[in-house]
Amino acid sequence: MELKSRPAYILKIILEQKKGYTVDRIIEKLNITKRTFYYDFELINDWLQSRELGKLEIQSKIICVKSNKIEMLQAEMRKNGGYYYSVQERRILELLMILLSTEVVTIEKMQNLFDVSKNTILKDIKEWKKLLGDQDIAIASSIKFGYVLQGEEFAIRKIVGKEIKKLENFQPKDILKKWMQKSLVTITGEDYDYLEIARCLIKQYEQDENIKLVLENEELECSMILISWIRSMDGYTMNLHTEEKVTLVETKPYQSLKHSFEKLKVYNLEIPESEIYYIATLLLGIKVAQFVSQDQEDLYISNFTKALVVNFERIACISFDNKARLMTRLKGHIRPLYYRLKYGVQSTNPLVQDVMRMYPEIYDFTERAVKEMKDDLAKVLTSDEIAYLTIYFISDEKYQTIHKKSNVSKVLALCADGMATSTLVKEQLKTLFGSAVDIKLGIISEAKKYDLDEFALIISTGYSELLAQRKNIVFTNVVLEDADKKKIIHVMNRCGVIGEYDRTIQRIIAAAAQSTSGTVDENELYFNVLRILFEVDNRKIDQKLNSVEEYIQKKRYSLLSAHSSKEQLLMQGCKKAVGENAWKRLYSRLCNMMNHNKIKFYEITEDVVVLHCPMRGDLNVEINYEIVVSKERIKISEEIKGKIFIFFVTVDQNTHFPVLEEIYNYCDSENGRDLLLAVKGANE
């Protein structure tokens, strides 16, 4: 008689452990019942007796071998080629068998392979169903097709990759190789060494790029490549987002694989093109992504976008009127941003310095909003990426609904690049024209699809033969320079497109013409006056708000008495910030927001907190801030606690930005930090 795998394994571990094994330890180790153990125990003794090699005994629950021929027994066991799979190995191989086999997978086949009972296989499958169900993957079965995996291919491969990585011993790895080879031979009808072909793909990439990859587990990478071929040629392909594909096309692994895939046809490997993207991710070193399904990735991007917008609102002390619109547009940018960083594709933003210069406050608020996030993605965002995000907040901060009127002129702005560039161009045009025009964005390559005759003015950041024939076309740079604006003003006057300051400018031009003996260059003067009107900030702010440093040095802040409550803090802050006539409205508003967890705050530094006091629509209230200092740390909510509270009053969406930015910069400065520490220390 032959000793099968499990009884042989039991005998081997007992021989290796001189002190013996307890019954309970073996039962636990092999995950079997007592009945199964004693059945194997009898089989082992029958085998030992047939060869006169001794017997097993149990003494005080300790199993030991009683034999005068231990050396002969050990030699006999070394001849035994059977391998006993551990519970983990068996279950992983069951999953791989279902995934890779080109034959019908049944319980009986799994029983014969692993030398276990039907109940053991059923129990394993039950465990897999429970585990995979959490990832929306199902194990289905039918008489015709046996057991099959059903679910999103993205999720299936993530799970399979993680499980293969757990295989450490030679025997289970070897059987996986044999299964993959057998499946590919069946599919292609050719008996090539497919594992070696996969290795050659990697070697070709190294040769193309003149590099040497340091792969943690080349065996795993090759296995996943073969699984990609087997699954895809069986109809189970990977479907990546368009933005992810666009990102991967720019990577060197994709470019190398694109060429190599043509050569695979020689081996009868007709691999779908979509698998090039997947294998490129393997070569980029994406071992185990944080997400096991596309739905999880979508949820992550959505949550990241939401957190960014919420942080920006808190830090900028605003509330977006159309948050859903902004989030939709931001997600359209954050998804490719996520893929770029995921695959290590560097992105350079040529507009970063212009954005910082033209919109310093919004850039700073965006950067602070990113820093507030503890997410790994936020930690690696560069200034280039933050500048792109800033452009979306610039757009929404200035967004106003344009009422469609017959006298509103239409302007078409065409760009060669993406939405971020187009948005920046649009914002500059809105600043130039005001609300007198309806600006539509488009792509230069799609210019034919527009009815160009309906636009009074066409702006393009790239040259086009079609557009060059138009009289109302102006070719410009992305960041409008003086020369670009002059051209726009010239066409604007000729075509009747006027800015909101046109009447004032025309009066100035007329006055200049009357008081000048020479000729007046009206277009030049028009541009100069328009630039002055827009660049000079006509938002009048009380001079006392321009220096928070002076405010603190002169001790204009309020001091709370010892052991003050949060209600006393809020009342004191509201009274100082908006005065006797309006403080009760503000106090009630803040309490209501606090009760509904909607109060906006930002901890600039430790124990220094800005509280947003929105007074939009309240008459006789101006932008203001007042500081209230407490000896003890006051807890307003689970998230809001501190000793120095800045009650910051706003009256609209953006006129307070320069004042708020000045406060942030001061608190971040060395002098500001020292003075704030002195204020806290003096009142403790």
Closest listed residue to residue 85, CA positions, set 32, 148, 157, 158: 32
What was the pLDDT predicted at 535? 45
Cβ-Cβ contacts under 8 Å for 491 (sequence gap 6 or more): 457, 472, 473, 474, 497
Q: How far apart are CA 645 and CA 630, in angstroms?
A: 8
Q: How far apart are CA 628 and CA 100, in angstroms?
A: 68
| Domain assignments of the chain as residue spans, ordered by start | 5-79, 87-283, 294-374, 409-535, 543-682
DSSP 267: G
- Asked if the model's pLDDT at residue 434 lies above 50, the reply is yes
Helix (H, G, I), strand (E, B) or coil at 602: strand
The whole-number average pLDDT for the span 10-16 is 84
pLDDT digits (tens, 9 = 90+) for 406-433: 345 788 888 876 666 777 888 888 777 6
The whole-number average pLDDT for the span 494-513 is 64
233 pLDDT band, cuts 50/70/90, is very high
Question: Long-range contacts for 463-470 (Cβ within 8 Å, ≥24 apart)?
Answer: 464/414, 467/414
Indicate the range of 9-23, 112-126, 457-471, 578-592 predicted with least confidence.
9-23
Instruction: Judge: domain 543-682, CATH 3.40.930.10.
Output: yes
Which pair of structure tokens corresponds to residue 355? 């954005």
What was the pLDDT predicted at 236? 92
Which pair of structure tokens corresponds to residue 2? 């032959």
- Is residue 4 a contact partner of residue 115, using CB atoms and an 8 Å limit? yes
Q: How far apart are CA 658 and CA 543, in angstroms?
A: 12
Per-position b or e across 77-110, b if 16+ CB within 10 A of its CB:
eeebeeebbeeebbbbbbbbbbbbbeeebebebb
pLDDT digits (tens, 9 = 90+) for 264-288: 888 889 899 889 999 988 887 643 3
Q: What is the dihedral of CA 565, 570, 571, 577, to 10 degrees?
A: 150
* CATH top-level class of 5-79: mainly alpha
What was the pLDDT predicted at 406? 36
352 pLDDT band, cuts 50/70/90, is confident
Sequence letter at residue 459: I
What was the pLDDT predicted at 121? 93
543-682: same fold as 5-79? Answer: no
Q: How far apart are CA 349 and CA 139, in angstroms?
A: 47
- Is residue 8 a contact partner of residue 77, using CB atoms and an 8 Å limit? yes
Q: How far apart are CA 640 and CA 598, in angstroms?
A: 12
H helix or E strand, kind and range, residue 236: none
What was the pLDDT predicted at 187? 93
The whole-number average pLDDT for the span 326-350 is 78
What was the pLDDT predicted at 650? 92
- Is residue 501 a contact partner of residue 531, using CB atoms and an 8 Å limit? no
541 pLDDT band, cuts 50/70/90, is very low
pLDDT digits (tens, 9 = 90+) for 310-334: 999 999 999 887 888 889 888 888 8
Backbone angles phi, psi at 335, to 5 degrees: -60, -55
Sequence letter at residue 282: L
HSE of 103, CA atoms in CB hemisphere, 13 A: 10
Cβ-Cβ contacts under 8 Å for 199 (sequence gap 6 or more): 218, 222
Q: Which residue has the tokens 């509270």?
A: 645
pTM of this prediction?
A: 0.56
Parallel/antiparallel/unpaired status of strands 21-22 and 146-150: unpaired
Q: How far apart are CA 210 and CA 203, in angstroms?
A: 10
Indicate the range of 57-71, 294-308, 502-516 predicted with least confidence.
502-516
- Asked if the model's pLDDT at residue 528 lies above 70, the reply is no
132 pLDDT band, cuts 50/70/90, is very high
* CATH top-level class of 409-535: alpha beta
- Asked if the model's pLDDT at residue 401 lies above 50, the reply is no
Please state, rounded to an integer, the average pLDDT across all residues of the chain.
Answer: 83
What was the pLDDT predicted at 542? 45
H helix or E strand, kind and range, residue 360: helix 360-371
What was the pLDDT predicted at 398? 52
- Is residue 138 a contact partner of residue 129, using CB atoms and an 8 Å limit? yes
Q: How far apart are CA 62 and CA 654, in angstroms?
A: 80
- Asked if the model's pLDDT at residue 337 lies above 90, the reply is no
Cβ-Cβ contacts under 8 Å for 416 (sequence gap 6 or more): 443, 444, 445, 461, 462
pLDDT digits (tens, 9 = 90+) for 26-43: 888 777 888 888 988 999
Which pair of structure tokens corresponds to residue 21? 């094994």
The whole-number average pLDDT for the span 544-549 is 66
What was the pLDDT predicted at 494? 63
- Asked if the model's pLDDT at residue 1 lies above 80, the reply is no
214 pLDDT band, cuts 50/70/90, is low
Which pair of structure tokens corresponds to residue 98? 């279902």
SS (H, E, C) 489-504: HHHHHHHCCCCCCHHH
Cβ-Cβ contacts under 8 Å for 65 (sequence gap 6 or more): 11, 14, 15, 54, 55, 56, 57, 73
What was the pLDDT predicted at 543? 44
- Asked if the model's pLDDT at residue 6 lies above 60, the reply is yes
- Asked if the model's pLDDT at residue 368 lies above 80, the reply is yes
Per-position b or e across 136-175, b if 16+ CB within 10 A of its CB:
ebebeeeeeebbebebbbbbbbbbbbebbbebeeeebbeb
Q: How far apart are CA 74 and CA 522, in angstroms?
A: 106
212 pLDDT band, cuts 50/70/90, is low
Q: Which residue has the tokens 């009206």?
A: 522
Q: How far apart are CA 631 and CA 648, in angstroms?
A: 21
What was the pLDDT predicted at 478? 85
HSE of 457, CA atoms in CB hemisphere, 13 A: 29
- Asked if the model's pLDDT at residue 617 lies above 80, the reply is no
Question: Long-range contacts for 570-576 (Cβ within 8 Å, ≥24 apart)?
Answer: 570/636, 572/628, 573/611, 573/613, 573/626, 573/628, 573/645, 573/647, 574/613, 574/647, 576/626, 576/628, 576/647
- Asked if the model's pLDDT at residue 397 lies above 80, the reply is no
Percentages of the chain per state (helix, strand, coil), in multiples of 5: 60, 10, 30
The whole-number average pLDDT for the span 660-664 is 92
- Dihedral-angle region of residue 268 (phi above 0 means left; psi in -120 to 50 means alpha; beta otherwise): left
Instruction: List the Cα angle 271/277/278 in 5-degree steps.
Output: 80
Q: Which residue has the tokens 């109302």?
A: 472
- Asked if the model's pLDDT at residue 684 lies above 60, the reply is no
